[in-house]
């Protein structure tokens, strides 16, 4: 483009009057003619007439003084002057006019109000303003400013957005061509029909969508803050707009929509004269609006890039094969709204366009789900606000969903599926349990910080957390890479969500993020039983009455599992670390990761993969993989003896013999010295008859032969009822009572070599 100003400069330099054009203001008596320009005070921007290359049209424009080729604003882009004698002047009322050589008005910029002493000034921000010299600079608002009439460039400090009161819409409009600054097809601005979204349109057609504002960001735009820039976003009842500021004033920056619709922020450093692209908003094909049609998801790393949402199939198989995705997808099974429908979580995506939708700012994610489920035509829901509550519900088709490449934001959508599909995708099952989203859990646990870690288990880590409302939770984060973790999760959820008992820990909900699964429990402030019972000092808290209560509580919990609930559940991993204590030290059985449900009249099962914990497993389970309610009873017996004695069965040491705790208890019993098993600390408070009864029941529970062990209902009756105590059977020798020969700390009379065929997988006892 040829810049008249430059030519004029050369002329000026020759004539020695260089400063002639250095003014930054234009007053009513003056005019700006083809050769002269205004230059902003800091020599940053310049205003004047320019004519594009190979063109005889003249435009009033603003460009960088350093880079005259980069025009950032054009006044009369729709009304070029075909006359080099055109000039700009300002009327005494403050209107800007462009006249051609014949004094015909070509263009005007009308001020909002009249002024006594108007003057046009080009500011260092690149804003051409009309102001009243008579008003105080501080309080003045401009009569007119070019920032209110953006062309294809958003400079720092310039707003893009809408004023709801005045109806003014500030948006960018691309030029027609590189050498044609007249208005092109592409526009970029904020649209607002509930939540603000940025749209690039070509004419009326949507071409790119920035995703709805989610309280923190536009959930479809790359992060735009950086060391050099600060983003400003204002959204209230009066207006919605976005602008940005440059931190370092020596850096020149601009955001543009180019003639082909590319949106980018570019920067010019002081030391170069080349623009550098900081970022572009569109980066791949998945950014094209509705690339995959209705109900399709665009995944840029896949080939082909389009796939249907789960539960959907291509509308036309043929078109889809030909990589024509415009037809999108339809449901493989229609929703019928009667049977038990559910939702499938689609993670890390740009939320679909807000076409037919409802926004409810009061609902949290869980209520959102319930609300969506209530209305048969609700097809999906999502969290609308990551900075508070808010619910988006879609009705009808889901358009323009893309998967993000990098995890920019934990933005998920929950797509409604008929019952049959929910089952089909049961590895991401929709459970009858509250679903927590990852952001909530991450913020509750300070991003899973070490200081929130309260335990390590065989299947993952446990964190303490606090929800927004102040409720304390325990989050078990299952190892994402382990298949066991997934199994554990499914099992635990399936079991425990159906159970309710005061001696079972309560599962509050779950959270799924990609391959990772988390279980959210009520928080138990007093940790687990092993933390107290095996500790020299903490043990003192557990007086005999408290211990007896704990024993009764665990027994009732187990009784419920075995026969009082709707199901029959074998826990398989009962141990002190799986008995949690609430604020009153009431016991709650936890960890149903390897529990098994028995149907109908099933009494026993056999497994090739033995999971459990040394010291608590019954012989038939550890050796043959056989488990039943009676293998749980064995573990309970161990627990009982541990609670009474304050010693671990595993690793028990006695100077006189090589027996473990079970053997030791049995020896004492036979010598009628059972009371010696009692841990000294709580002797004072103990009720001897109760202690002896607990030891006896404990020994009966750990009998070697399954048929010699009582059922849980018997156990509870025996513990509860003093009368029967005297008529109880004499215990025979316990199973696994001979401890190590020497030095071997693992084996409790069983082989631990895992073979491929008969893997024996044992978890070490660890605190929660």
Ligand X SMILES: *[C@@H]1O[C@H](CO)[C@@H](O)[C@H](O)[C@H]1NC(C)=O
Binding residues: 476
- Is the CB of 525 or the CB of 754 nearer to ligand X? 525
Work out which of 3, 32, 34, 71 binds ligand X, going by CB under 6 A.
Answer: 34
| Binding of ligand X by 91 (CB under 6 A) | yes
Work out which of 104, 114, 141, 447 binds ligand X, going by CB under 6 A.
Answer: 447
- Least spacing, CB of residue 181 vs ligand X, in Å: 12
Work out which of 13, 82, 168, 216 binds ligand X, going by CB under 6 A.
Answer: 216
| Binding of ligand X by 607 (CB under 6 A) | no
Is 702 in a helix, a strand, or coil? coil
- Is the CB of 455 or the CB of 619 nearer to ligand X? 455
By CB under 6 A, the residues from 358 to 387 that bind ligand X are 358, 375, 377, 387
Q: 573, 591, 632, 679: which is the annotated catalytic residue?
A: 573
- Least spacing, CB of residue 722 vs ligand X, in Å: 29
Total residues interacting with ligand X, rule: CB under 6 A: 39
- Is the CB of 100 or the CB of 191 nearer to ligand X? 100
- Is the CB of 377 or the CB of 471 nearer to ligand X? 377
| Binding of ligand X by 178 (CB under 6 A) | yes
Which residues on adjacent β-strands are paired with residue 64? Answer: 45
- Least spacing, CB of residue 498 vs ligand X, in Å: 28
For 303, counting Cβ atoms within 10 Å of its Cβ (0-12 exposed, 13-18 middle, 19+ buried), the class is: exposed
Which part of the chain contacts ligand X (CB under 6 A), choosing from 442-450, 455-463, 702-710, 733-741?
A: 442-450
Site string for ligand X, 250-289 (x = CB under 6 A): --------x-x-x------x-xx-----------------
- Least spacing, CB of residue 24 vs ligand X, in Å: 18
| Binding of ligand X by 149 (CB under 6 A) | no
- Is the CB of 104 or the CB of 447 nearer to ligand X? 447
Task: Show the DSSP H helices in 398-543 as ranges.
Answer: 419-424, 438-444, 483-496, 529-533
Whole-number Å distance between alpha carbons of 499 and 663: 35
Work out which of 3, 35, 682, 768 binds ligand X, going by CB under 6 A.
Answer: 35
Which backbone phi and psi does 393 adopt, to 5 degrees?
-125, 135
Work out which of 84, 135, 332, 333 binds ligand X, going by CB under 6 A.
Answer: 84
Give Cα 98 to chain centroid, integer Å.
54
Whole-number Å distance between alpha carbons of 369 and 413: 11
For 647, counting Cβ atoms within 10 Å of its Cβ (0-12 exposed, 13-18 middle, 19+ buried), the class is: buried
In 85-135, where do the E strands start and end? 87-90, 96-99, 105-109, 118-122, 128-132
Cα–Cα–Cα angle for 708, 709, 710, nearest 5°?
120
- Least spacing, CB of residue 49 vs ligand X, in Å: 9
End-to-end CA distance of the chain: 72
Whole-number Å distance between alpha carbons of 355 and 579: 51
Whole-number Å distance between alpha carbons of 452 and 445: 6
| Binding of ligand X by 4 (CB under 6 A) | yes
- Is the CB of 18 or the CB of 658 nearer to ligand X? 18
Instruction: Write down the residue that tokens 């799924």 correspond to.
Output: 512
| Binding of ligand X by 55 (CB under 6 A) | no
Structure tokens at 284: 């791949």
Site string for ligand X, 321-350 (x = CB under 6 A): ---x-xx-----------------------
Is 363 in a helix, a strand, or coil? coil
Which part of the chain contacts ligand X (CB under 6 A), choosing from 73-81, 84-92, 129-137, 339-347?
A: 84-92
Give Cβ neighbours of residue 502 (< 8 Å, ≥ 6 apart).
553, 557, 586, 588
Q: Are 296 and 401 in contact (CB under 8 A)?
A: yes
Give Cβ neighbours of residue 550 (< 8 Å, ≥ 6 apart).
529, 542, 579, 581, 585, 586, 587, 643
Instruction: Encode 11-47: b = buried (16+ Cβ within 10 Å), e = exposed.
Output: ebeeeeeeeebebbebbbebbbbbbbbbbbeeebbbb
- Least spacing, CB of residue 442 vs ligand X, in Å: 6
| Binding of ligand X by 408 (CB under 6 A) | no
| Binding of ligand X by 85 (CB under 6 A) | yes
Whole-number Å distance between alpha carbons of 765 and 650: 10
- Least spacing, CB of residue 536 vs ligand X, in Å: 15
- Is the CB of 395 or the CB of 534 nearer to ligand X? 395
| Binding of ligand X by 108 (CB under 6 A) | yes
| Binding of ligand X by 7 (CB under 6 A) | yes
Whole-number Å distance between alpha carbons of 231 and 253: 13
Whole-number Å distance between alpha carbons of 445 and 448: 5
Structure tokens at 168: 């003014």
Whether 656 is catalytic is no
| Binding of ligand X by 157 (CB under 6 A) | no
| Binding of ligand X by 654 (CB under 6 A) | no
- Is the CB of 302 or the CB of 377 nearer to ligand X? 377
Q: If you ran DSSP here, which 8-state letter would residue 209 be given?
A: E
- Least spacing, CB of residue 690 vs ligand X, in Å: 21
Is 346 in a helix, a strand, or coil? strand
Instruction: Write down the residue that tokens 């605190």 correspond to.
Output: 767
| Binding of ligand X by 738 (CB under 6 A) | no
Q: If you ran DSSP here, which 8-state letter would residue 748 be given?
A: S
- Is the CB of 442 or the CB of 674 nearer to ligand X? 442
Cα–Cα–Cα angle for 311, 315, 321, nearest 5°?
100
- Least spacing, CB of residue 396 vs ligand X, in Å: 9
By CB under 6 A, the residues from 564 to 583 that bind ligand X are 583
- Among all residues, which ones are annotated catalytic? 573
Q: Contact residues for ligand X (CB under 6 A)?
A: 4, 7, 29, 31, 34-35, 84-85, 89, 91, 95, 97, 108, 110, 178, 215-216, 258, 260, 262, 269, 271-272, 319, 324, 326-327, 358, 375, 377, 387, 395, 442, 446-447, 525-526, 541, 583
């Amino acid at each position: 483009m040829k810049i008249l100003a430059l030519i004029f400069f050369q002329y000026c330099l020759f004539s020695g009057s260089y400063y002639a054009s250095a003014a930054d203001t234009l007053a009513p008596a003056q005019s700006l003619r083809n050769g002269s320009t205004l230059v902003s005070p800091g020599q940053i921007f310049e205003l004047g007439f320019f004519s594009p290359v190979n063109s005889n049209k003249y435009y009033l424009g603003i460009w960088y003084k350093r880079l005259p080729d980069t025009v950032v604003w054009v006044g009369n882009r729709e009304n070029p002057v075909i006359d080099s004698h055109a000039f700009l002047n300002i009327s005494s009322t403050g209107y800007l006019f462009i006249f051609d050589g014949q004094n015909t008005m070509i263009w005007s910029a009308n001020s909002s109000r009249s002024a006594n002493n108007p003057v046009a000034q080009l500011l260092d921000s690149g804003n051409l303003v009309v102001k009243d010299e008579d008003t105080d600079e501080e309080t003045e608002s401009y009569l007119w400013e070019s920032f209110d009439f953006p062309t294809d460039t958003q400079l720092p400090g310039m707003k893009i957005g809408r004023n709801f009161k005045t109806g003014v819409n500030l948006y960018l409009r691309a030029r027609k061509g590189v050498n044609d600054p007249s208005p092109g097809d592409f526009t970029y601005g904020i649209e607002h029909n509930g939540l603000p979204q940025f749209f690039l349109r070509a004419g009326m057609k949507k071409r790119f969508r920035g995703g709805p504002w989610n309280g923190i960001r536009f959930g479809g735009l790359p992060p735009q803050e950086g060391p050099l820039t600060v983003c400003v976003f204002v959204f209230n009842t009066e207006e919605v707009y976005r602008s940005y500021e440059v931190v370092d004033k020596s850096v020149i920056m601009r955001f543009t929509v180019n003639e082909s619709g590319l949106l980018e922020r570019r920067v010019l450093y002081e030391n170069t004269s080349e623009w550098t692209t900081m970022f572009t908003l569109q980066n791949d094909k998945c950014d094209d609006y509705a690339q995959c049609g209705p109900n399709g998801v665009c995944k840029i790393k896949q080939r082909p890039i389009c796939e249907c949402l789960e539960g959907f199939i291509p509308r036309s198989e043929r078109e889809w094969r030909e990589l024509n995705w415009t037809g999108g997808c339809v449901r493989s099974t229609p929703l019928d709204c009667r049977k038990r429908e559910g939702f499938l979580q689609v993670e890390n995506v740009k939320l679909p366009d807000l076409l037919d939708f409802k926004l409810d700012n009061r609902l949290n994610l869980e209520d959102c789900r319930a609300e969506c489920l209530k209305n048969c035509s609700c097809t999906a829901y999502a969290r609308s606000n990551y900075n508070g509550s808010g619910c988006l519900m879609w009705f009808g088709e889901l358009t323009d969903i893309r998967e993000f490449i990098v995890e920019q934001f934990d933005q998920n959508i929950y797509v409604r599926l008929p019952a049959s599909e929910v089952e089909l995708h049961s590895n991401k099952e929709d459970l009858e349990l509250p679903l927590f989203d990852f952001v909530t859990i991450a913020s509750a646990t300070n991003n899973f910080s070490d200081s929130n870690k309260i335990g390590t288990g065989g299947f993952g880590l446990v964190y303490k957390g606090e929800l927004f409302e102040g409720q304390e939770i325990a989050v078990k984060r299952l190892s994402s890479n382990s298949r066991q973790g997934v199994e554990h999760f499914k099992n635990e959820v399936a079991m425990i969500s159906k159970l309710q008992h005061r001696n079972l820990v309560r599962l509050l909900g779950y959270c799924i993020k990609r391959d990772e699964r988390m279980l959210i429990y009520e928080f138990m402030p007093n940790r687990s039983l092993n933390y107290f019972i095996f500790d020299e000092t903490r043990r003192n808290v557990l007086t005999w009455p408290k211990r007896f209560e704990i024993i009764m509580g665990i027994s009732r919990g187990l009784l419920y599992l075995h026969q009082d609930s709707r199901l029959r559940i074998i826990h398989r991993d009962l141990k002190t670390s799986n008995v949690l204590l609430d604020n009153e030290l009431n016991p709650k059985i936890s960890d149903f990761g390897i529990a098994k449900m028995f149907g109908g009249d099933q009494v026993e099962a056999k497994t090739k993969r033995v999971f459990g914990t040394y010291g608590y497993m019954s012989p038939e389970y550890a050796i043959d993989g056989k488990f039943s309610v009676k293998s749980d009873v064995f573990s309970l017996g161990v627990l009982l003896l541990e609670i009474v004695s304050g010693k671990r069965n595993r690793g028990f040491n006695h100077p006189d013999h090589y027996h473990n705790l079970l053997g030791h208890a049995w020896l004492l019993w036979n010598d009628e010295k059972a009371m010696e098993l009692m841990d000294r600390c709580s002797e004072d408070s103990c009720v001897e008859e109760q202690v002896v009864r607990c030891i006896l029941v404990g020994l009966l529970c750990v009998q070697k032969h399954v048929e010699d062990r009582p059922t849980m209902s018997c156990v509870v009756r025996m513990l509860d009822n003093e009368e029967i105590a005297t008529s109880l059977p004499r215990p025979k020798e316990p199973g696994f009572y001979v401890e190590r020969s020497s030095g071997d700390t693992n084996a409790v009379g069983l082989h631990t070599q895992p073979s491929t065929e008969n893997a024996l997988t044992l978890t070490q006892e660890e605190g929660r």
